[in-house]
Amino acid sequence: MTTCGRAPDAPGRSLSAGRCMLDIRNLCKHFGGIKAVDDCSFTVEGGSITALIGPNGAGKTTAFNCISRTMTPTTGEVWLDGERIDGLRPHKITARGLSRTFQISRNLADMTVLENVICQSRINGWRDFFKPAMSAEEIDKAMGILNFLGITRLAHEDGANLSYGQKKLMDLAALLMSDPKIILLDEPAGGVNPTLLEEIIGHIRELNRNGLTVLIVEHNMDLIMRLSHRVVVMAQGGVIASGSPEEVRNDPAVLEAYLGGAQEAAA
């Protein structure tokens, strides 16, 4: 099996392109009579940047939560690189190579950036309570990732002092500490100024070029069309279309999902 090469200073695992990295099978999440995710199935190819899009209320973030097990699916299966993971605890899923961000940064405001990156990235569950605050190895690794992201200067800054965009970079750094196979990015462009957004896009592209698979939820359609190899579209909890950005852009079902929702809101 051939693998994608990566630069020595680029975080992430070197991976084969072309194989199925993430396989979502008939995923459902119901809240009483509300079907937030309903029979949702799609795949993410290894080495790709895949976007998960859809109108508000489509179920995208709920699907993310079920995949990463921050929510328990009602039914369905999640397979990561050939291994079923939907019955695992979140830290076990992270240990197997899947890490995610959240729409709102979960930084600890009374800790430095370096401490946040190390603390948030630990993946051994309760055993981590018995580890030293920060080992020399963890510090070296975290500083290397902060350097890769261009924010070494912020290492000893309190998390509370960061801009919204800088917090997004800190969250990305914490993800990379676990050497993931695939990262799930939930609204990485939300609230970020255009200059810093271009930096984030550049980092995502570089990580992907070096073998990291990316699944991204994002409302910024310009970003999605520029960045993604493949787009999966959700509406009313299920997948209604998938394909290249150009194919999805011209799909009548996608246009109806977005324009129909706008018309209902205006009514």
Q: b/e for 133-167, b at 16 or more Cβ within 10 A?
A: eeeeebeebbebbbebbebeebbeebbeebeebbb
- Neighbour tally for 198: CB within 10 Å: 12
What rounded mean pLDDT belongs to the chain? Answer: 85
Report the residue count for the chain. Answer: 267
End-to-end CA distance of the chain: 55
pLDDT in tens, 88-132: 998 899 999 999 987 666 666 678 999 989 886 655 544 454 455
- Neighbour tally for 17: CB within 10 Å: 14
* Partners of 253 in the β-ladder: none
Rounded distance, CA 116 to CA 105, Å? 11
- What is the structure's pLDDT at 127? 47
106 is written with which tokens?
A: 């979960």
Hey, what amino acid is at 152? T
- What is the structure's pLDDT at 16? 52
- Neighbour tally for 267: CB within 10 Å: 5
Closest CA to 219 of 203, 208, 231, 236: 231
Band of residue 262 on the pLDDT scale cut at 50, 70, 90:
very low
pLDDT in tens, 176-222: 998 999 999 998 888 888 888 899 999 999 999 999 999 999 888 88
Band of residue 234 on the pLDDT scale cut at 50, 70, 90:
very high
How large is the average pLDDT for residues 23-38?
Answer: 96
Rounded distance, CA 221 to CA 238, Å? 20
Hey, what amino acid is at 187? E
Residue labelled with tokens 């997004």: 168
Indicate yes or no: pTM above 0.75.
Answer: yes
Band of residue 228 on the pLDDT scale cut at 50, 70, 90:
very high
CB 196 within 8 A of CB 228: no
Q: How far is CA 118 from the centre of its chain?
A: 18
